Amino acid sequence: MSMDHIASLEPLNDLETAVSCEDARPRGGRSVEIRHALQEEIESGKLPPGSPLDERALAARFQVSRTPVREALQQLAARNLVRIAPRQGMSVARLSISQVRAIMETIGELEGMCAKLAARRVGDELRAQLDVALQHCQDAAIQGGTEEYALANAKFHEVIYAGSLNPYLADLIRNARRQIYRYRLRDFVTKAQINKSMQDHLKVARAIQDGDEMAATHQMMLHVPSGSTGFSEFLARMPMNLFETEPGES
What CATH number does the domain containing 20 carry?
A: 1.10.10.10
Query: Between β-strands 95-96 and 243-244, what pairing exists: parallel, antiparallel or unpaired?
Result: parallel
User: Which domain does 100 fall in, by range?
Assistant: 96-244
* 216 and 129, same domain (yes or no): yes
Give 243's strand partners. 95
- pLDDT of 61-78, one tens digit each? 999 999 999 999 999 999
pTM: 0.77
Co-location of 53 and 110 in the same domain:
no
Rounded Cα gap, residues 138 and 149, in angstroms? 8
In a domain, 23, yes or no: yes
With beta carbons less than 8 A apart as the criterion, state whether 175 and 213 touch: no
Partners of 246 in the β-ladder = none
- My answer on whether 110 and 228 are in the same domain is yes
Q: What is the pLDDT of residues 98-142, one digit of tens each?
A: 998 899 889 999 999 999 999 999 999 999 999 999 999 999 998
Q: Are 42 and 143 in the same domain?
A: no
Report the CATH number that the domain containing residue 198 is assigned in CATH.
1.20.120.530
81 in the same domain as 107: no
For the chain, how many structural domains are there in total? Answer: 2
Q: How many CA atoms lie within 13 A of 103 on its CB side?
A: 18
The pairing of beta strand 82-85 with beta strand 52-53: unpaired
DSSP string for residues in 173-209: HHHHHHHHGGG-TTTTSSHHHHHHHHHHHHHHHHHHH
Please tell me whether residues 80 and 189 are part of one structural domain.
no
Average pLDDT over residues 9-15: 44
The string of pLDDT tens digits covering residues 178-230 is 888 888 767 787 888 899 999 999 999 999 999 999 999 999 999 987 655 57
Host H or E run for residue 154: helix 146-164
Q: Which of 93, 110, 130 is the last residue of a domain?
A: 93
Question: In terms of DSSP H, where are the helices of 9-145?
Answer: 14-24, 29-43, 55-62, 66-78, 97-120, 124-143
